[in-house]
Each structure stands twice: as structure tokens, then as C-alpha cells.
């Protein structure tokens, strides 16, 4: 059975909407639309009306190409105001076999035990370690036999005001939100392979105005962090240092942004305010400005990696993605800053069919990750923002016979029959005893009491009828 889905990446520099068809977990793109971001700065919505117009433009372009008219979408939410906390849930398994119901129960318990601040809403509850009967690091507890199950989870939450503004902007564009995914999480889904999941990996998404860090160890994301600096800041630095317009500075960054090789070549650039006048600028200065900013960003992210206390669990090293990774030499610079950890630049995965050439770019990792998330590539047994347990198990295979619901009902009915039999025997014994004594008890022996009468024997008669 196929399903048509819409994914919207709401970034600080661009908004990308993609419509795709999902069939048997395979994703095939049907259309996409891209618009320049408005009303969004450093991942936060600053003008709902402008943001809504930009979102609507991207969606309409995607609809026109795909020929679909969808009304709901899965959208990304920035790491800007996201926070994480860990929690643990413990449940007993009365019927020994672990089903989806038990897994849902332990996940909900972990969420219940978490100290989530009132001003935050939960968007992901990600399990990274299951334990059954004190056996640690269970990959998948489903159908296993145990008397006790525990889970450690990483809870990702965002400020309620930020989430509310996002919903308003998307709703004003005529779209309802059916899924919300942390942007760094979506980028990780699109770039991490199975070996890297097994070994542990850090994913750094270097965007236009923001940079995100997520660390994936065990079965899911364990850590996420945010930095409000991106490639646009390089453009601003160049514009100020070279006294040239922003558009020209962006072109210089793209055409001459090299972090390894330097050159004494002189280039002519227009001056701000008097574009007819041009100044000669050495590429050495360009290199110095770009290098300084990129080095600063990577060093801050390296400190964040140290702060996570998970560095020893990152066997696969660092994955770089996002638009800034198109700078020449950024992999080599990152490798020197991250203490010779292996570093690779990741383009979006090949799991998606019909990928337009424009989308085969690290800058589109997040939106393609949203499609894969909707297609079931999420963390197994996570709880989403709608408090639903996401899993790939067939519910029909769940064995609930051990719950003994039918047997319990039969037992109750059997007990009721035994009680009735005992009452009958007790009544017969009393009747027999009264007969032997010369008098057989009968309700007819009680006085005839009319309803209109306030006979004092009325209550006694009612009591006797209830008793026998």
C-alpha cells in the first residue's frame, strides 16, 4: 500500500518542501519546492506572516510539480530551543512474554518519571538501552521472555512558545502538522549508515545560520547541541573585511573559499555604496577570514563533544553535512581539530529514488531525513510528539494469550456458580431442618404486607427475601 507524504524543512536560509510516495518503506520523490527563508533567524520564527508566505511558496511549487494536493506534513524544528534530559522506566512483566503493550508501558513510564519543565513540550522520547532481568544492552526486547524490563531514554523537548509559533506559521500556509522532527535528528537519519550506528557516530550539520551536533550511540541519539553560527556568518565577515556588498561576498566565498591552499592572487571587488569603484583584494585575506570563522565554529563544536562525555563511544568518528561542507578543505580542518578522529562529508543517502540533481547536496540532508523518518526509518520504539509509540512490528503477531483474559472470566463465573450452589445447599439444609422440627419454612408464612400499609414487618420481609 502506497502513501503520499509531504516533508518541510524550515531552515534559516531556505525552506524546502518535498512530496514523495512511500511504498514498502521505499521513498520516491514526486516534486519539490524551495524558497528563501523569511521571518526566521537562527532557527527561531521571528515573523509568522513572512515565514508563512515563504513556507506556502515552497509547498505550492512542490504541489505543482507533483500534481498532489496534500494538507498535512512532517516538519523539522530547529535545535535552537531544544533541550535533552535522560530518564529511566521500569515495569514488571506478569505474563513473562514482552509484547508491544509492555514496551509501550515501560516507555510511557520513563516519560512519566522525567522531570519535564512546564514551559517545554516533548517531541521525542528515544530509547537507547533496554534491560531485561538485569541483562544489559538488549537490542530489541520484543517477544523475549522476562519478568522485569527497564529502559533508558533520551527525551528531547522544545519550548512551548517556539512550537506554537511553528504550528501557526505552517497552519497559515494551509498545512496541518502530522509529525515534528528535530532537524539534527533528521540529518542523522539521512546520513548515518548501519556500521556507523553500531560503532557510534557524531553528526554535525553546518547550515546557513546554525550548526547542529547530535551524537548517536547505542540504539538512538544520546546528545544534541546547537550553535547559532553558520555559513552566512562567513559571508558577513567577508563583507565587512573586504568592504564589499553581501551578494559579492557570497560569491567570493563560493568561488574562492579554500581552507587549505592559499594564494597571492589579487581579485577586484566592488565597494559598498559605490559599486562602480573597485578595490584589489588578495586571496590570502579571503582565506584568512574564512579560515578563522570555520575554525571557531568547529572548535566550539569540539568543546561540546567533550562536554557530552560520549567521545569514547564514538568509534565511527564525525560526519559533516550541511551547506558549509562545500568549502574546500573543511574535512581536513575538522580532522585536525577533532584530534585526528575520522571525518567524512556526507551527502544524503541513496535510499531515496527519483532524487533531483538539485537535491543531491549536503544542504538537503534534513528534508530528506524527514521523508525517511515518515517512511519508518525512525528509532525503533520511540514516542513521537503525539505520544504515540513508533514501531515496525506486526500487531497481529502479538501473543496476548498469556494474559488469560478469557480464563479469568471463566474463573469468576465458576466461582459465582459455586457460591450459588452453596447458597442453595444452605437453603435446603435449613428447610430440611425446619421440616424435621415439624415446620417447613416458607415466605408464605410471613404476614401479608400491603404497600400502602406501614406494617412493622415490611422491612423484615424484604430482608428475608434478599437473604434467601
Distance, in Å, from the CA atom of 8 to the CA atom of 409, rounded to the nearest integer, reads 50
**What pLDDT score does 52 carry?**
97
Is pLDDT at 424 greater than 80 in this prediction? no
Is pLDDT at 409 greater than 70 in this prediction? no
Instruction: Identify the band that residue 457 occupies on the pLDDT scale cut at 50, 70 and 90.
Output: low
For residues 215 and 259, is the Cβ–Cβ distance under 8 A?
Answer: no
Mean pLDDT over 24-49 rounds to: 92
Nearest alpha carbon to residue 226 among 206, 207, 212, 205: 212
**What pLDDT score does 335 carry?**
93
pLDDT digits (tens, 9 = 90+) for 206-224: 999 999 999 999 889 999 9
Distance, in Å, from the CA atom of 173 to the CA atom of 15, rounded to the nearest integer, reads 13
Distance, in Å, from the CA atom of 350 to the CA atom of 339, rounded to the nearest integer, reads 30
Fold of 1-193+349-395: Nucleotidyltransferase; domain 5 (3.30.420)
pTM, to two decimals: 0.82
238-247: burial string, b at 16+ Cβ within 10 Å, e else = bbebbebbee
Round the CA-based radius of gyration of the chain to a whole number and report it.
Answer: 33
Distance, in Å, from the CA atom of 440 to the CA atom of 430, rounded to the nearest integer, reads 9
> How far is CA 285 from its chain centroid?
43
Distance, in Å, from the CA atom of 56 to the CA atom of 62, rounded to the nearest integer, reads 10
Distance, in Å, from the CA atom of 372 to the CA atom of 381, rounded to the nearest integer, reads 16
Distance, in Å, from the CA atom of 210 to the CA atom of 227, rounded to the nearest integer, reads 6
Instruction: Identify the band that residue 16 occupies on the pLDDT scale cut at 50, 70 and 90.
Output: very high
* 261 or 108, greater pLDDT: 108
Q: What share of the chain is helix, strand, coil (3-state, %, to 5)?
A: 40, 30, 30
Is pLDDT at 276 greater than 70 in this prediction? yes
**What pLDDT score does 87 carry?**
97
- What counts of helices (H) and strands (E) characterise the chain? 12, 21
Within 393-440, where are the H helices? 405-436
**What pLDDT score does 235 carry?**
95
For residues 154 and 128, is the Cβ–Cβ distance under 8 A?
Answer: yes
Q: Give me 109's grid cell.
A: 513510564
Where are the domains positioned within the chain? Answer: 1-193+349-395, 405-467
Instruction: Identify the band that residue 299 occupies on the pLDDT scale cut at 50, 70 and 90.
Output: very high
- Torsion-angle region of residue 283: left (phi > 0), alpha (psi -120 to 50) or beta? alpha
Q: 434467601: which residue's cell?
A: 468
**What pLDDT score does 464 carry?**
55
Q: Give me 443's grid cell.
A: 415466605
**What pLDDT score does 460 carry?**
59
**What pLDDT score does 406 carry?**
34
Residue 41, strand partner residues = 44
For residues 107 and 89, is the Cβ–Cβ distance under 8 A?
Answer: yes
Amino acid at each position: 500500500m502506497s502513501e503520499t507524504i509531504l516533508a518541510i524543512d524550515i531552515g534559516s536560509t531556505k525552506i524546502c518542501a518535498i512530496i514523495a510516495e512511500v511504498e514498502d518503506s521505499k521513498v520516491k520523490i514526486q516534486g519539490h519546492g524551495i524558497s528563501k527563508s523569511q521571518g526566521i533567524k537562527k532557527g527561531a520564527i521571528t515573523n509568522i506572516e513572512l515565514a508563512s508566505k515563504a513556507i506556502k511558496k515552497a509547498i505550492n511549487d512542490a504541489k505543482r510539480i507533483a500534481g498532489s494536493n496534500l494538507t498535512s506534513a512532517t516538519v523539522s524544528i530547529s535545535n535552537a530551543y531544544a533541550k535533552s534530559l535522560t530518564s529511566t522506566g521500569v515495569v514488571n512483566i506478569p505474563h513473562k512474554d514482552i509484547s508491544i503493550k509492555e514496551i509501550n508501558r515501560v516507555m510511557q513510564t520513563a516519560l512519566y518519571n522525567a522531570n519535564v519543565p512546564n514551559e517545554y513540550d516533548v517531541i521525542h522520547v528515544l530509547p537507547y538501552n533496554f534491560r531485561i532481568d538485569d541483562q544489559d544492552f538488549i537490542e530489541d526486547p520484543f517477544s523475549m521472555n522476562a519478568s522485569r524490563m527497564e529502559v533508558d531514554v533520551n527525551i528531547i523537548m522544545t519550548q512551548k512558545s517556539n512550537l506554537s509559533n511553528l504550528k501557526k506559521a505552517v497552519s497559515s500556509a494551509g498545512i496541518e502538522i502530522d509529525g515534528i522532527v528535530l532537524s539534527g535528528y533528521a540529518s542523522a537519519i539521512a546520513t548515518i549508515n548501519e556500521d556507523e550506528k553500531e560503532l557510534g557516530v557524531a553528526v554535525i550539520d553546518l547550515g546557513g545560520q546554525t550548526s547542529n551536533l547530535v551524537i548517536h550511540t547505542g540504539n538512538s541519539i544520546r546528545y544534541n547541541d546547537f550553535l547559532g553560527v553558520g555559513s552566512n556568518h562567513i559571508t558577513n565577515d567577508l563583507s565587512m573585511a573586504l568592504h564589499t556588498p553581501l551578494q559579492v561576498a557570497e560569491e567570493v566565498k563560493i568561488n574562492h573559499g579554500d581552507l587549505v591552499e592559499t594564494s597571492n592572487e589579487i581579485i577586484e571587488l566592488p565597494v559598498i555604496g559605490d559599486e562602480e569603484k573597485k578595490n584589489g583584494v588578495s586571496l590570502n585575506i579571503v582565506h584568512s577570514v574564512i579560515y578563522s570563522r570555520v575554525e571557531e565554529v568547529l572548535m566550539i563544536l569540539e568543546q561540546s563533544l567533550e562536554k557530552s562525555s560520549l567521545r569514547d563511544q564514538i568509534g565511527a568518528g564525525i560526519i559533516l553535512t550541511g551547506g558549509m561542507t562545500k568549502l574546500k578543505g573543511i574535512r581536513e580542518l575538522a580532522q585536525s581539530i577533532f584530534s585526528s578522529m575520522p571525518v567524512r562529508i556526507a551527502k544524503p543517502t541513496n535510499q531515496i529514488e527519483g532524487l533531483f540533481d538539485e537535491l543531491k547536496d549536503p544542504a538537503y540532508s534534513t528534508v530528506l531525513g524527514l521523508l525517511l523518518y515518515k517512511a519508518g526509518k525512525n528509532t525503533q520504539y520511540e514516542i513521537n510528539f503525539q505520544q504515540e509509540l513508533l514501531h515496525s512490528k506486526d500487531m497481529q503477531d502479538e501473543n496476548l494469550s498469556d494474559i488469560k483474559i478469557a480464563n479469568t472470566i471463566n474463573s469468576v463465573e465458576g466461582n459465582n456458580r459455586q457460591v450459588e450452589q452453596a447458597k442453595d445447599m444452605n437453603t435446603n439444609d435449613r428447610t430440611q431442618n425446619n421440616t424435621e422440627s415439624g415446620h417447613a419454612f416458607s415466605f408464605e408464612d410471613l404476614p401479608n404486607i400491603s404497600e400502602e400499609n406501614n406494617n412493622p414487618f415490611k422491612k423484615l420481609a424484604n430482608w428475608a427475601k434478599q437473604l434467601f
